[in-house]
């Protein structure tokens, strides 16, 4: 069997290795030789799939950062915007915890690489749209659209807030307190109360 006999598996190994290394050492601190070694492929084969290192980062961002698998319908609880928001938040934070791209890479590289910043903006817009669809599905017809959009904005900003840097995380007990269950629940209740009020107002003759 040749090195290129399993192109999908080889490409995936390269991306897996790059994801782990970029998360640990940053884009600039990771060489293509190191990626090839970690992926157990010749450097020439790495360049066959990815002509330049930025192409590897672009592939990681395009393929492993996104909300395509986020199904608002499955997370919606009709008549309960608070639980709907919490369901979306739990899913997004679980995805982040499982992904070096979401947990580390996109935050660090978005400050120095325009393609990463643009990808983060696309991710946040897509997440906003998913939250808005979930809220629209769970609330009565005629609920003020502005209130729904504002709630989607606030919740998207909350659950995509940048993770704390190591020093700040240590001073906060190693955790991003904004994403603690009690904090998320309190924010969701505030937004839910506003949405419920908007629903009642829209239903008033």
Asked if residue 191 and residue 165 are part of one domain, the reply reads yes
Q: Are residues 192 and 152 in the same domain?
A: yes
Tell me how far CA of residue 38 lies from CA of 42, 103, 112, in angstroms: 10, 21, 25
Give the 3-state secondary structure of residue 23: helix
In a domain, 1, yes or no: no
Domain membership of residue 125 (yes or no) is yes
pTM of the full predicted structure? 0.80
The one-character DSSP state at 104 is: I
Same-domain status, 92 and 193: yes
Number of domain units in the chain: 2
Q: Which tokens go with 14? A: 């390269």
Residues 96 and 130 in one domain: yes
Give backbone dihedrals phi and psi of 68, rounded to 5 degrees, phi first. Answer: -60, -35
Q: Structural domain of residue 27, as residue ranges?
A: 7-60
CA distance 106 to 172: 22
- Block mean pLDDT (10 aa), the chain, length 205: 68 96 94 97 96 93 78 93 96 88 86 88 90 95 92 93 56 64 94 88 59
């Amino acid at each position: 069997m040749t090195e290129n006999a399993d192109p999908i598996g080889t490409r995936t190994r390269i991306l897996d290795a790059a994801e782990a290394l970029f998360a640990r050492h940053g884009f600039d601190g990771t060489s293509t030789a190191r990626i090839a070694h970690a992926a157990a492929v010749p450097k020439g084969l790495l360049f066959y799939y990815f002509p330049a290192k930025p192409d590897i980062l672009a592939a990681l961002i395009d393929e492993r950062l996104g909300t395509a698998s986020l199904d608002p319908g499955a997370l919606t609880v009709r008549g309960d915007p608070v639980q709907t928001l919490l369901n979306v938040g739990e899913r997004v934070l679980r995805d982040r915890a499982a992904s070096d791209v979401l947990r580390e890479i996109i935050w660090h590289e978005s400050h120095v690489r325009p393609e990463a910043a643009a990808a983060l903006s696309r991710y946040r817009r897509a997440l906003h749209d998913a939250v808005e669809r979930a809220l629209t599905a769970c609330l009565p017809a005629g609920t003020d659209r502005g209130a729904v959009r504002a709630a989607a904005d606030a919740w998207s900003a909350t659950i995509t807030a940048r993770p704390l840097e190591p020093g700040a995380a240590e001073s906060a007990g190693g955790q991003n307190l904004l994403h603690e269950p009690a904090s998320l629940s309190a924010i969701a209740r505030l937004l839910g109360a506003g949405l419920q009020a908007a629903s009642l107002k829209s239903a008033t003759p």
